[in-house]
Amino acid sequence: MSELTSFKLLSFDVYGTLIDYERGILTALQPMLEKPNTPTIDPKHILKVCHEVQAPQQRENPKQKYSDLLAAIHPKLCKELGLQTPTEEESRTFGDSIPNFPAFEDSVEALHRLKKVYKMVVLSNVDNASFSANNNSATGLQGFEWDLVLTAEDIGSYKPSPENFEYMLKQAKEKFGVEKAQVLQTAQSQFHDHHPAKDMGIKSSWIYRSNQTLGNRDNPVYNWKFDTLAEMADAVEKELAEGK
């Protein structure tokens, strides 16, 4: 197997990998969960249902902005969970919640360490405005400077569509002269990232995030596995120190 330092570009999933997407979703849904006579619901069940209503919405509406898509699935999510029917304003607030999603504690520091070695590219399902606001938030990625940001809004489809990975590879070649063999998909979600990357012949680094459940599959595939992005940065720095 090639070494981590043999790659030139890291293609990042953001939500679930760098940003605690699950905590963000659960917090955004909290107003509905706090209404009178609402039963206690297991957070893992909420997230499972969220994935179940979101995945078909993404397939059927590939050009819908992610903030609009979240607003659209909010009533369906509430219905499936047995919650009250939300108002349009409540659904819109849910869709606009992405800028408030928090980063994992290790994300920003690890990104800066990795940027010393690689071109850093976003390949995200989130729309441009939501990503920009979250990336520049003090509780988000604190203004981290990416070499390239590619979103579902730019591409016109959502991961796990192969179109997203084809688009990323084309941009990597055109903008940086980087070939597919020099790209490492860096992500948490098996569903959105690792399985389609493998199908495309792209190597991947699984940032496992053991407390995350969305995007998991029974048959995980990956070339490297780390519990956190900081651990991956440690491994890269160790290779460099050893002269690999």
- The per-residue pLDDT for range 42-96, each reduced to its tens digit, is 999 999 999 999 999 999 999 999 999 999 999 999 999 999 999 999 999 999 9
Number of domains in the chain: 2
End residue of a domain, out of 68, 99, 130:
99
Same domain, 125 and 32: no
30-34 average pLDDT score: 97
Whether 13 is a known active-site residue: answer: yes
Same domain, 129 and 208: yes
Same domain, 12 and 127: yes
Read off the CATH number of the domain in which 51 is found: 1.10.150.750
Domain of residue 89: give its range. 21-99
> Pick the catalytic residue: 13, 20, 127, 193?
13
Kindly state the tokens that stand for 6: 């043999």
Same domain, 155 and 179: yes
Q: What are the two backbone dihedrals, phi and then psi, of residue 189, each rounded to the nearest 5 degrees?
A: -80, 120
CB distance 222 to 205 below 8 Å: yes
Q: Which residues pair with 204 in a beta bridge?
A: 185
Residue 184 CA to residue 17 CA, distance in Å, equals: 14
Residue 43 CA to residue 64 CA, distance in Å, equals: 27
Secondary structure (DSSP) of 105-140? TTHHHHHHHHHTTSEEEEEESS-HHHHHHHHTSTTT
160-177 average pLDDT score: 98
pLDDT for 214 beyond 90 = no
End residue of a domain, out of 63, 78, 99:
99
Q: Cα 15 from chain centroid?
A: 3
Checking phi first, is residue 122 left (phi over 0); if not, alpha (psi -120 to 50) or beta? beta
End residue of a domain, out of 63, 81, 99:
99
Note the pLDDT tens digit of each residue in 88-147: 999 999 999 999 999 999 999 999 999 999 999 999 999 999 999 999 999 999 999 999
Judge residue 214's burial from the number of C-beta atoms within 10 Å of its C-beta, 0-12 exposed, 13-18 middle, 19 or more buried. buried
What is the structure's pLDDT at 135? 98
Peptide bond into 160 cis (omega under 30): yes
Other CB atoms closer than 10 Å to residue 228's CB: what's the count?
17
- Please state the pTM of the whole predicted model: 0.95
Pick from 190, 173, 192: nearest CA to 181: 173
The pLDDT > 70 percentage for the chain reads 99
Same domain, 46 and 80: yes
The three-state secondary structure class of 2 is coil
